[in-house]
Structure 1
Amino acid sequence: MARGAIRIGVIGCGFYAQNHLHAWQDLASEGAALAAVCDVDTGKAEAAGRAFGVPFYTDAATMLAGDRLDAVDIVTRHNTHRALCELAISRGIATIVQKPFAPTWEDCLAIVEAAEKAGVWLAVHENFRFQTPMRHVRRVIDSGAIGAPSWARIMFRTGFDVYRTQPYFYDEERLAIADVGIHVLDLARFFQGEVERISCETQRRNPKVRAEDTATMLLRHRSGSVSVVECTYEARRDPDPFPETLVEIEGDKGSIVVLPGSRLRVSSNGVTTEENVCSPLRSWTTVRWHVAQEGAFLACRHLLDCLQRGVRADTSGQDNLKTYALVDAAYRAAVEHRAVAPEELNESAGAPRSKARGAQ
């Protein structure tokens, strides 16, 4: 797709979609054109259309047929993703889909295969790796300041009431790992590379929820490094760092620690430095939510740039299969009380080893 204005339609105008809508609006100077919005809830669709000055729809097929769109950003619940992705792909429209990719591995694979067959650009809006503190961590790793990473702990631990804005969480069959664990597992890949095997212990600490609200995972990476990945909605911390992800990474030359408040501490060859890596607020971000909201903006910026240059996104559908495979492997590991290689699940679900392992 040539560089120029990219006309984008957003499907889903709920709680989190507001971040996407504001992001695309802010990216107008860089070539994004928010062209239409859609939601099955008429009130939400109309409110978004009026707020952002674009046509609104309550039916995705009607929007895709009625507006000349270059790309569609799907920000709906994951059980709708496959049908909406396949609809957009069938019309040759570049497709962005919010994580989690889809409810099952089979659905994810079907979406990727549909896009590949049609030659349509596809990406997952996996945004934690775009948060400013996480980009700083990646840059420090790439600089060689701590040497080769050999151990890490990546934590998303909060007691914030996520059920207030997402009450359907109470009835989800898969919760903590599928909702936020997928983000921290993606960060483990982003920082330390692909995973050889994963172990997992889950807990349901809140009796009101149906699924797990806490997970503690142990990953062995192909490089030989090890990471501990933690996620919970039942932490009792004061102050609560929500919605920040805290990170510790050790290498043979030093370490990186991400502390609450977007503070980055780097120890390298015996010298320790600390800085605040929080970026300035945008007009629509707030102090508490800024790190997450800006992560959504920066993810959209990356996706826009890739669309304009006609290149695959870092979080392409194929790449996200690797993260999704870790989610499914974690659930299997928790049930079977053993370490699980992601390839085991991929092969048992019918994915060829070459596609599961070699996806870029």
Structure 2
Amino acid sequence: MADSKRTRIGLIGCGFYAQNHLHAWADLHAEGADLVAVCDLDPIKAEAAGKKFGVKVYREAETMFAHEKIDLVDITTQMKSHKTLAALAAKNGIGAIVQKPFAPNWTDCIEIVETAEHYGTWLAVHENFRFATGMRRVRTVIDSGAIGQPNWARLSFRTGYDVFKGQPYLAEERRLVILDVGIHVLDLARFFLGEVKHLSCETQKRLPHVKGEDTATIMMRHETGAVSIVEATYATRKIPDAFPETLLEIEGSEGAIVVGRGDKMQVTTQGISFEEQIGSPLLSWTSRPWHNSQEAVLHTNRHMLQRFRSGQVADTSGIDNLKTYALVEAAYQAHESGMAVKPPQWHPKG
């Protein structure tokens, strides 16, 4: 746990998306965060980040932990390294934020959680979609009761944008669109409609150069009785392309919410409709069309920092994120079996 004045932050992984994390931590300096060191196996990436943000540079996480007094580490590496790095942090008594996806598989996710539980260290998953300005506004409308009890929803992330240019390793993943971006949308479904009773899933492979599924359609029955449809694809050919927006419709007993292109939200409540722009403002380091996602990193990091400093559990704690990852696992199982599947559950030891 950090002291009451400053929280010393280390970051592991200085790649493509990690740049947003670095900027976010710099912005949070006034709120108690001190980014003190970065680490990457690629010395060029590590040195560039260290120079840009004025912090120490390491190639090995173990060396960084040995030489720096780190309170909280932000792990922004590819998922295959998460279990090892999270365990190293836990053994050193360091709190950890793990980038989504939590890990390549359900078993590894459980091991990460149980290791943190064993050592009594703070653990969270950097699931940023639910912290986006627009998605928080949708949740506020739901919580206000304006649409009554939500009972049906469609949440969609459909794009043909070349995500493989910035992250070429994705083309080699056997688990692709569900685990890469579908997991974000599944988490939003939980965030808006609650936990899931069972789900069905169909996947498709429409892009010739990828090894995993590039399209997924998932239908879920929530414990409240609500039904939701989650769509994710990297293979659409629509013009204009909605990238990187999440579009959604949520219907309730008293009204509805529709979020369309251009961050426009339309709310119908008791027969009256109004519109509102819910996009994120541009920051000094954000740019269109990424700005909503980039600002969401700042909001996520702020939430993590506040909860860590106060000794509270994050909304997207390791334990909570198991419930989102369980939907990913169930989706792949449902596709393979052709049947509805109940999400797996984690049962704490002892």
TM-score normalised per structure 1: 0.95
* Aligned residue number for residue 305 of structure 1: 306
* Aligned residue number for residue 99 of structure 1: 100
Provide the rounded CA distance (Å) in 1 between the counterparts of 2:238 and 2:270.
Answer: 32
Provide the rounded CA distance (Å) in 2 between the counterparts of 1:188 and 1:61.
Answer: 37
Provide the rounded CA distance (Å) in 2 between the counterparts of 1:4 and 1:330.
Answer: 44
Identity %: 59
* Aligned residue number for residue 128 of structure 1: 129
Cα deviation, 1:74-104, whole Å, max 9, x if unaligned, reads 0000000000000000000000000000111
Cα deviation, 1:177-196, whole Å, max 9, x if unaligned, reads 01000000000000000000
* Aligned residue number for residue 33 of structure 1: 34
* Aligned residue number for residue 149 of structure 1: 150
Matched, 1:168 2:184: no
* Aligned residue number for residue 236 of structure 1: 237
* Aligned residue number for residue 179 of structure 1: 180
Matched, 1:207 2:208: yes
Tell me by how many angstroms 1:204 deviates: 0.1
Higher alpha-carbon deviation: 235-244 or 307-316: 235-244
Provide the rounded CA distance (Å) in 2 between the counterparts of 1:246 and 1:301.
Answer: 25
* Aligned residue number for residue 79 of structure 1: 80
Residue 302 of structure 1 aligns with an amino acid whose one-letter code is H
Which SS does the other structure have where 1:286 is aligned? coil
* Aligned residue number for residue 48 of structure 1: 49
Residue 195 of structure 2 aligns with an amino acid whose one-letter code is E
Which SS does the other structure have where 2:274 is aligned? strand
TM-score normalised per structure 2: 0.98
* Aligned residue number for residue 248 of structure 1: 249
Provide the rounded CA distance (Å) in 2 between the counterparts of 1:240 and 1:305.
Answer: 36
Which SS does the other structure have where 1:280 is aligned? coil
Provide the rounded CA distance (Å) in 1 between the counterparts of 2:52 and 2:114.
Answer: 36
Provide the rounded CA distance (Å) in 2 between the counterparts of 1:268 and 1:288.
Answer: 30
Residue 325 of structure 2 aligns with an amino acid whose one-letter code is Y
Provide the rounded CA distance (Å) in 2 between the counterparts of 1:51 and 1:182.
Answer: 31
* Aligned residue number for residue 340 of structure 2: 339
* Aligned residue number for residue 271 of structure 1: 272
Tell me by how many angstroms 1:235 deviates: 1.0
Residue 271 of structure 2 aligns with an amino acid whose one-letter code is G
Provide the rounded CA distance (Å) in 1 between the counterparts of 2:212 and 2:280.
Answer: 35
Tell me by how many angstroms 1:106 deviates: 1.1
* Aligned residue number for residue 226 of structure 1: 227
Cα deviation, 1:107-136, whole Å, max 9, x if unaligned, reads 111111111111100000000000111000
Tell me by how many angstroms 1:3 deviates: 3.7
Cα deviation, 1:235-256, whole Å, max 9, x if unaligned, reads 1121111111011000011001
Provide the rounded CA distance (Å) in 2 between the counterparts of 1:162 and 1:23.
Answer: 22
C-alpha RMSD over aligned residues: 1.0
Preserved contact between residue 134 and residue 280 of structure 2 (Cα < 8 Å): no
Provide the rounded CA distance (Å) in 2 between the counterparts of 1:151 and 1:278.
Answer: 23
Provide the rounded CA distance (Å) in 1 between the counterparts of 2:103 and 2:163.
Answer: 21
* Aligned residue number for residue 262 of structure 1: 263
Provide the rounded CA distance (Å) in 2 between the counterparts of 1:122 and 1:85.
Answer: 9
Provide the rounded CA distance (Å) in 1 between the counterparts of 2:233 and 2:268.
Answer: 28
* Aligned residue number for residue 296 of structure 2: 295
Equivalences, count:
348
Provide the rounded CA distance (Å) in 2 between the counterparts of 1:235 and 1:273.
Answer: 30
Higher alpha-carbon deviation: 72-81 or 1-10: 1-10
Preserved contact between residue 204 and residue 216 of structure 2 (Cα < 8 Å): yes
Cα deviation, 1:303-339, whole Å, max 9, x if unaligned, reads 0110111100000000000000110000000000000
Residue 22 of structure 2 aligns with an amino acid whose one-letter code is L
Preserved contact between residue 133 and residue 278 of structure 2 (Cα < 8 Å): yes
Provide the rounded CA distance (Å) in 2 between the counterparts of 1:91 and 1:44.
Answer: 25
Cα deviation, 1:134-185, whole Å, max 9, x if unaligned, reads 0001000000000000000000000000010111111111000010000000
Which SS does the other structure have where 1:235 is aligned? coil
Residue 270 of structure 2 aligns with an amino acid whose one-letter code is N
Residue 158 of structure 1 aligns with an amino acid whose one-letter code is T
* Aligned residue number for residue 117 of structure 2: 116
Which SS does the other structure have where 1:163 is aligned? helix
Provide the rounded CA distance (Å) in 2 between the counterparts of 1:257 and 1:131.
Answer: 16
Gaps of 5+ in 1: none
Provide the rounded CA distance (Å) in 2 between the counterparts of 1:131 and 1:237.
Answer: 24
Provide the rounded CA distance (Å) in 1 between the counterparts of 2:264 and 2:28.
Answer: 27
Provide the rounded CA distance (Å) in 2 between the counterparts of 1:294 and 1:121.
Answer: 24
* Aligned residue number for residue 320 of structure 2: 319
Gaps of 5+ in 2: none
